[in-house]
Homo-oligomer: A and B are copies of this chain.
Amino acid sequence: MEQRIDRIKKQLHSKSYKLTPQREVTVRVLLEHEDDHLSAEDVYMLVKEKYPEIGLATVYRTLELLTELKVVDKINFGDGVSRYDLRQEGAAHFHHHLVCIECGSVDEIQEDLLEDVEKIVESRFNFEIKDHRLTFHGICYRCKDKSE
């Protein structure tokens, strides 16, 4: 935890940004909820518990900053809100998501799985892939078990 914060601090410094208390609390909240997919409002409320004076705009600005640094990815599952998802350190590619249309749960897939597909796309469409977003919508294992 401390080490990851330290590395993020260095990333900020390398672009002449500071790890202010507000930013640090925000990063801690994200690390503590690594498996969730928090909206800006979610993050704001969790940060408020530890640092009540913070403003919503600061949270937005921090999340934007972290997105720029590729510490988090801004994702969108089709409800009206942006969500912020910590990138795995050192992961070459952004992970995928399984969204359950029954219960709304969101699970993550860390495996890449797209290597072959990307090769085809790059050669067939002469498109140089820098990043990807892949989401499957369907029924999760929990809901499948429930309905049996």
> Interface residue count for A (Cβ, 8 Å)?
32
Q: Is the CB of B109 within 8 A of A125?
A: yes
Q: Chain B interface: which of A17-25, A40-48, A127-135?
A: A127-135
For A126, list chain B residues within 8 Å (CB).
141, 144
The yes or no answer to A69 lying at the interface (CB within 8 A) is no
Q: Does A107 reach chain B (CB closer than 8 Å)?
A: yes
Which residue of B has the minimal Cβ distance to A121? Answer: B136
Chain B residues with CB under 8 Å of A130's CB are 101, 137-139
Question: In the complex, are the beta carbons of A133 and B137 less than 8 A apart?
Answer: yes
CB contact under 8 A between A133 and B133, given known A107-B125, A113-B117, A117-B114: yes
